[in-house]
Structure formats: C-alpha cells, structure tokens
C-alpha cells in the first residue's frame, strides 16, 4: 500500500515522502517584495516536507495582486530567495518556486497606478481585491496587446532564470485559481479573436509558450504546473471544462513535466480523473484532504502525493506528527492561500 511517508520520484527529484507543502501566502516579505528572515525561518521549519512549493512570486511589478507578496524580478529578490533555499537545503529539504502573474485579480493601487491586464477587458465579478488599507471591487482590466503578451512570456523566462540563480530545486507555473494564465484558458474570461483566443489551442497558447521558455531554462523534470479545473475562484467560467483540461493535460504530458498539482476537492464533478488519465507524470492532489482521505486517495491510485496548505501553516512539524500518529492543530480557515 502506498503511504504519505513513502518516497516518490518526482521528475528528476527523489522526494523522501509524499507530503507536499502547498503554497500558503502569509504576506511576510519586507521592503521591495524581498523575502526576509521571517520567510526564511518559516520555510526552514517545514523542510521535512517531501517538497515545499512556495507562495506565489510575481514575475514582474505589474503581476502583483496582493500586498506584501514576494517577487522574482530583480537581483535583491534573488538574494532573498537564496537565503530561503539555503536554509531549506541545510535541513535536507526540497523547494520549488511558484511563478505567477495576477492579471485582472489586482488593482491600480498595487500596480503604481497602472491598470491590471487580462486577455480581455472583462472584470472579475467574484470577491474584492485586497489593497493596502481596504478591499475594493475589481476594476475592468486592460486587454493585452500581442506584443505585451510576448513580454510577459519573457518575464516568466527571466523569472525561471532567477529561480535557478536562487538555487531552487525547480519551479511551478501557476496556471490556476483565476489568475492571468487561467484567465487565458477559460472562454468566459478570454474573448480574444487573435492567436490567443477562440479555439482550445489558441487559449492554451499562452500557458504553453510560458512552459516552453521555462523548459529552455530548467529540465522538464524540474517543472510543475498548478491547475484548478473546477474554476471556483475569481469568476472562472468555461463552456466545456472537460475538453479544456483534457487538452491541457495532453499537452503537459507531451512535455514530460514533473508534476501537475490539481486544486480540486473530491466530488462527482471533479476533473482530476481526466487529468490522471491524460497526464503521465506525477499528480499532486490538493484541497479538502485530511490525513485519512489522503491515504485513501494514494492507495486508490487517484494521485501520487497530497499537498497540505493551511495544515502546514499551523503545523510546522506536520510530517513528524503524521509519522508519530499525533493529531494536527486546528486550522484557521481565513489563512490566505495563493
């Protein structure tokens, strides 16, 4: 029987267990969006995870979506992240950097007065944007011009290079949860009529171009992708999500990526089985998994590892607690995740 405590070959990397630390944003970075000592200590305390995936790091100043979140677009941030990775590696841990662009899920106050960008000028109607002192309704974003899309792909390329300089073990491209890449994937937020809109191939082009430039920096066995097929954050809608995610999974499989992390709680409408069938790499399950459900999912072959977010925030010693059969501390449902 497969256990959470069993090792796992994840692409090029052998993990010592199948307990993944999911990204959980604590809004800790100090000035300049640079990871500080608090963030370094936070991840070092959780280095016993088979793999840590960091909170989302914006690939550019115009990709920000929340106050306090870190970046990966300049050398100061590289040095801050380097201190994080060194602390994790000193404890025998593995750590991937999550690369991210918020797209329309932002506000001019977070972007030095610039308007948020998106595939189409369609505002997010679900929720509000957290800005420095308050929350505000999402603004109508500016539709990206083709040359600007190419610039953002280049931003991901540079961020992938910076992640190598910071000595991460790999990267995860954030293509879910209603942020920019996800906005391109869904026809409810992407009404473009050019090569980046319309057909499945066109709507997935942005994601695949980003992955292809990242593959030019990292081996495919050190790259993962985060997906959220249910589209239940930030007003994601699609006319045929099953076809969309089957297409995505097949394209990711062609590229022989290390893993897909799928944030989707179990249910009759879940598309995780579609991803499992079409993608041959490791599948990391996330959302709504307690220890018992996680063990059952691994034993049944639904996935290869399970990612815990809030549970890891409140239990730095989560791996030890699971190994010793101890109960976990209760989680605060308000803990932000990104």
Q: Could you confirm whether 179 is annotated as catalytic?
A: yes
Q: How far apart are CA 335 and CA 144, in angstroms?
A: 32
Q: 236, exposed or middle or buried, with CB in 10 Å at 0-12, 13-18, 19+? A: buried
Cα 104 → chain centroid = 17
End-to-end Cα distance, the chain = 32
Q: Nearest Cα to 77, choosing from 168, 153, 207?
A: 168
Partner residues linked to 97 by β-bridges:
171
Structure tokens at 9: 């070959």
φ, ψ of residue 285 to 5 degrees: the values are -90, 145
Which DSSP letter does residue 31 get?
G
Q: Nearest Cα to 172, choosing from 239, 113, 238, 258?
A: 258
Q: Which of 42, 179, 196, 289 is catalytic?
A: 179
What's the length of the chain? 338
Q: How far apart are CA 309 and CA 332, in angstroms?
A: 11
Q: How far apart are CA 326 and CA 323, in angstroms?
A: 8
Q: Give me the active site residues, please.
A: 179
């Amino acid at each position: 029987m497969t256990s959470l405590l069993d090792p796992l070959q994840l692409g090029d990397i052998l993990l010592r267990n199948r307990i993944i630390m999911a990204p959980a944003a604590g809004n800790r970075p100090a000035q300049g969006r640079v990871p500080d000592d608090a963030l370094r200590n936070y991840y070092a305390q959780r280095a016993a995870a088979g793999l840590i995936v960091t909170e989302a790091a914006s690939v550019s100043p115009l990709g920000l979506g929340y106050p306090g979140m870190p970046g990966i677009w300049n050398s100061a941030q590289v040095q801050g992240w380097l201190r994080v990775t060194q602390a994790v590696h000193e404890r025998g841990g593995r750590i991937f950097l999550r690369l991210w662009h918020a797209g329309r899920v932002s506000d001019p106050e977070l972007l030095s007065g610039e308007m948020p960008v998106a595939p189409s000028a369609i505002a997010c109607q679900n929720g509000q944007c957290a800005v420095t002192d308050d929350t505000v309704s999402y603004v109508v974003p500016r539709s990206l011009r083709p040359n600007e899309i190419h610039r953002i792909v280049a931003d991901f390329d540079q961020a992938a290079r910076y992640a190598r300089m910071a000595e991460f073990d790999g990267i995860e491209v954030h293509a879910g949860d209603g942020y920019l890449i996800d906005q391109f994937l869904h026809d409810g937020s992407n009404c473009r009529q050019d090569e980046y809109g319309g057909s499945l191939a066109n709507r997935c082009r942005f994601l695949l171009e980003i992955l292809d430039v990242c593959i030019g920096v990292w081996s495919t066995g050190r790259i993962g992708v985060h997906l959220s097929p249910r589209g239940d954050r930030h007003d994601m809608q699609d006319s045929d999500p099953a076809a969309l995610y089957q297409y995505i999974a097949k394209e990711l499989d062609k590229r022989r990526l290390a893993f897909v992390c799928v944030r989707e709680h179990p249910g009759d409408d879940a598309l995780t089985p579609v991803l499992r069938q079409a993608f041959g790499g490791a599948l990391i399950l996330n959302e709504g998994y307690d220890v018992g459900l996680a063990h059952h999912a691994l034993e049944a072959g639904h996935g290869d590892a399970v990612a815990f977010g809030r549970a890891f925030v409140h239990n730095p010693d989560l791996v030890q607690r699971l190994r010793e059969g101890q109960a976990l501390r209760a989680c605060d449902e308000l803990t932000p995740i990104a």
